[in-house]
Structure 1
Amino acid sequence: MNLFIGLGLVLLVAVAVCFLLWRQESRAADPDSVSWSGLALPVLVVALAALGYLTLGYHPQTRDWIADQHRYADVADRVIRGEAPGEQDQNIAAGPLARVLQARLVRDHQSAPGWYTLGLLYDQLGAPAQVQEAAGRAVRLAPDNPSARLLLARGMIEQAQGRLTDPAQAQIQTVLDANPDHDGAWMLQAMAAGEAHRYQLAADSWRALLARHGEGEAGDLIRQGLARAEQQMASSRRFDDLRVRVSATDVPAGGTLFVFLQREGGGGQPLAARRMLVETFPTTVALRPQDWLQPYPDDPDTVRAAARYTPAPGSSVAEAGLRSDAVPINPDGSPAASVTIENR
């Protein structure tokens, strides 16, 4: 910072000297034509503005940004040209290189390898939205590149908290249509489909992997994944579309209702939850597959249903002060549980 204060003072002195020289030369040429008082204020304002920027407006990270641009410029240029990384490119921090590469790609935005690498860097930094932007550009420039498509799918899945979305599955399916034996595509789909409670798709994906890698340690892990998907698929037949009837005592309708399932004893993240507006009481709420936040429980006897409510529409669960007691569920019943919200 001291360097820039010094530069500002030098600039101010230089402006003053140039102004005095101009005034002297103008008087020598025509003493009656010089009216410099009107120019003094603008010149002073410009000089002070420059000094202010160099002393106060200079962001403390600007120097680091400029240093990174010089340090990683060659690496970024090699990436944009599609050259393989060398030994000198090892152990480079993802954050600074991503910033430099992003700046380079603004000028040379037609580099598919550059956008793909930028997506990988953002993936390391845990920025799924930026992963999707960079990988999407790579896919548009090189639609036949399976790695770019899977990176795009991974960004979509990470954005959805690890769950497979329809757009992500479309990217994976494009890869599998071109290469049915792509292990990475099958593995990504198997794991993300399980997180999304799409257990049939997860089981099919695990079976595709098992057909090619049934032996050894990999086979054991794949069989475990398949067994889990099949067990959850069987449980889904009991828990999908499970219904909870909610009544209310001395509570006005028209507010926000939260119905959730939790393990016996409560605490921690609910097993499933659904938020909705209530026009009248009593009402029946169906818990859909997308409402489940955790895998289906092995023992329904340990599951409890409960509800919270606030008369204000659009409120959060933290504002829902009215609540019911937690009651056991019967997955085979219709409804599976009945709870009553009381104004107490």
Structure 2
Amino acid sequence: MPTLVIFVALAIILAILLAVIVLLPWLRADKSAQNNQLIALNVEVFKERLAELTADYSSGKMSEIEFNTQKTELERQLLLASEDKNKVVLNESEQNNDLSKVAVSKAQRELQVTRSGKARLTILVCVPVLIVLGYFLSADRSSTVQFWQAQDKVGQVADDLLTGKIDAPPEWAAEDTAGLMAAIQANVHHHAHDAQRWMRLADIYLAFEAIDPALEAQARAYRLTPEDEDVAVGYAQTRFFASGGVLDSSSRRALQTALQQNPEHQGAQMLMAMGEARAGNYDLAQAWIVRLKESISQRDGDHSAALNSLDELSANIRQQAADAAQSTQVSNQADGESSVVTSEPAINTRTIMVRISIDDKLAAEVGNKDTLFVSIQEQAGGAPLAVKRLQAADLVNTEQGLQVSLNDDDAMMPTHTLSSAMNDQKSLVAKARISKSGEAMSASGDLIAVDTTVDYLDTDQPVIELNMVISQKLP
């Protein structure tokens, strides 16, 4: 049965029950109306008997004391015959009054109380109807209805995807992408303690390049099962690439947890090597590479390709260490005109030189703690081929723009380089963004430049020059 029908039926039943409970005292049958004839008869008998007592007293057949006693008893009997359950309290002055008037007045009031059966039925029907109309007319419920319809249509497909029963949704389910995603998200939240569902949700987000929600999903999975090495490494890897190749405290802690569970985990060792190299800890990075090569060599089969890749990474780290040492030497030999002297990295096979400037209207919004990210990546998407992280204030302080060089030394992965992409004639784009938070992930308020296509196919020049202007602000 559709969810909308179930909801409406339950809402109507609940409204009727509430109306019955609230109106129950008012809907009770009026017993006094059923006894109207009996009360009228009792009043007539009381009047006749009182007339007889009055006649006997007037003729002297009874004394005044006897008359008052029998009159009081007669009035008490009339009051007891009525349906009034309240206790009648009479003081001394009321005992001297004519109680027959009290009894007659009470009987007349009860005769005046009437209730309409049509009025009861009208209220009993109108209350639930008004509640339902108020629910649907007070606000736009179309999104809720669409969600229920998606749950009925693709709810099972979402569960099969998240439990690994199927790898891809059927064509008919993939046509409604928004409905399928809503069903997937609802399924994950209904099984909030299942870490694997959170990880599969993160994989779906990554397929759509939604980095922020993917990281959040993986963080939830890691908090649920920190002892699961695959979950820990997956979470650390996403944070590593999302932060521009920086191994922050969260990703480092996740990798250390995974290595405690499995000291020979190759993915964790590779991430530690690249993270230490990016942080300038070249000796530690080389140590991780040696450990990784030993682990691979002990496995059966031909691993020459992986070992060669590690040799390239090791050579790249040695070159970075040499460049850092040269930069330090030049800085120490400076004549004091500048406290910090930097040297341009050595040009590898291909280098892209990007000159970045900023629109004057946005320059005032750049703070001293803002971070400038410049990257080159494939137009089809994926991890950057080369990325640099700089101080955004340097961009504002220069009049001719900031010149940034990107080459294989700025690669995040040894096998995912700028030169290899150019050799494969991949379509490349350059990106530039000023981050307010210092994170590599885009956020509201960041300042960006329009993506610029890297035109290199018709030239053999080792250096490709580009100009970019940061002129937009993310809403």
Find the counterpart in structure 2 of residue 231 from structure 1: 319
Shift of 1:216: 1.6
Shift of 1:325: 7.1
Indicate which of 222, 226, 240 corresponds to 1:139.
222
CA distance in 1 between counterparts of 2:179 and 2:304 reads 41
Indicate which of 235, 253, 265 corresponds to 1:152.
235
Q: What is the number of residues matched between the two proteins?
A: 250
| Aligned positions of 1:207-222 closer than 5 A | 207-213=290-296, 215-222=303-310
1:77-97 C-alpha deviation (Å, 9 max, x unpaired):
6846xxxx23xx132369765
CA 66–190 in structure 1, closer or farther in 2 if over 3 Å, else same: farther
C-alpha contact (below 8 Å) 2:154/2:180 kept by paired residues: no
CA distance in 1 between counterparts of 2:211 and 2:401 reads 37
1:321-344 C-alpha deviation (Å, 9 max, x unpaired):
x646799xxxxxxxxxxxxxxxxx
Find the counterpart in structure 2 of residue 6 from structure 1: none
Shift of 1:142: 2.3
Three-state SS of the structure 2 residue aligned to 1:267 is: strand
C-alpha contact (below 8 Å) 1:132/1:152 kept by paired residues: yes
RMSD: 5.4
CA 66–176 in structure 1, closer or farther in 2 if over 3 Å, else same: same
CA 235–112 in structure 1, closer or farther in 2 if over 3 Å, else same: same
CA distance in 2 between counterparts of 1:67 and 1:204 reads 52
The reply to whether residue 177 of structure 1 matches residue 260 of structure 2 is yes
Three-state SS of the structure 2 residue aligned to 1:219 is: helix
1:13-53 C-alpha deviation (Å, 9 max, x unpaired):
xxxxxxxxxxxxxxxx979x98xxxxxxx999978866757
Three-state SS of the structure 1 residue aligned to 2:226 is: coil
The AA in structure 2 aligned to 1:213 is I
Find the counterpart in structure 1 of residue 168 from structure 2: 91
CA 137–153 in structure 1, closer or farther in 2 if over 3 Å, else same: same
Three-state SS of the structure 1 residue aligned to 2:212 is: helix
The reply to whether residue 112 of structure 1 matches residue 189 of structure 2 is no
The AA in structure 1 aligned to 2:306 is A
CA 66–227 in structure 1, closer or farther in 2 if over 3 Å, else same: farther
Find the counterpart in structure 1 of residue 183 from structure 2: 100
CA 30–103 in structure 1, closer or farther in 2 if over 3 Å, else same: same
CA 70–44 in structure 1, closer or farther in 2 if over 3 Å, else same: closer
CA 210–323 in structure 1, closer or farther in 2 if over 3 Å, else same: same
Find the counterpart in structure 2 of residue 58 from structure 1: 142
Q: Which moved more, 1:114-123 or 1:220-229?
A: 114-123
CA distance in 1 between counterparts of 2:246 and 2:327 reads 19
Q: Which moved more, 1:169-178 or 1:89-98?
A: 89-98
CA distance in 2 between counterparts of 1:109 and 1:226 reads 42
Find the counterpart in structure 2 of residue 267 from structure 1: 355
C-alpha contact (below 8 Å) 1:129/1:155 kept by paired residues: no
CA distance in 2 between counterparts of 1:69 and 1:123 reads 26
CA distance in 2 between counterparts of 1:308 and 1:123 reads 32
C-alpha contact (below 8 Å) 2:150/2:180 kept by paired residues: no
Find the counterpart in structure 1 of residue 270 from structure 2: 187
Find the counterpart in structure 2 of residue 203 from structure 1: 286
Shift of 1:181: 1.3
C-alpha contact (below 8 Å) 2:154/2:183 kept by paired residues: no
CA distance in 1 between counterparts of 2:401 and 2:153 reads 62
Shift of 1:188: 2.6
C-alpha contact (below 8 Å) 2:255/2:268 kept by paired residues: yes
Shift of 1:210: 2.0
CA 100–197 in structure 1, closer or farther in 2 if over 3 Å, else same: farther
Shift of 1:145: 0.8
1:243-265 C-alpha deviation (Å, 9 max, x unpaired):
99579xxxxxxxxxxx9987898
Structure possessing the higher radius of gyration over alpha carbons: 2
Three-state SS of the structure 1 residue aligned to 2:246 is: coil
CA distance in 1 between counterparts of 2:154 and 2:251 reads 36
CA distance in 1 between counterparts of 2:155 and 2:269 reads 36
C-alpha contact (below 8 Å) 1:98/1:121 kept by paired residues: no
1:295-324 C-alpha deviation (Å, 9 max, x unpaired):
xxxxxxxxxxxx978xxxxxxx4xx3x646
Q: Which moved more, 1:209-218 or 1:220-229?
A: 209-218
| Aligned positions of 1:308-327 closer than 5 A | 317=395, 320=396, 323=398
C-alpha contact (below 8 Å) 1:189/1:202 kept by paired residues: yes
Q: Which moved more, 1:190-199 or 1:115-124?
A: 190-199
CA distance in 2 between counterparts of 1:245 and 1:45 reads 82
C-alpha contact (below 8 Å) 1:119/1:134 kept by paired residues: yes
CA distance in 1 between counterparts of 2:226 and 2:151 reads 32
Shift of 1:153: 1.0
Find the counterpart in structure 2 of residue 338 from structure 1: none
CA distance in 2 between counterparts of 1:51 and 1:95 reads 23
Q: Which moved more, 1:45-54 or 1:122-131?
A: 45-54
CA 44–176 in structure 1, closer or farther in 2 if over 3 Å, else same: closer
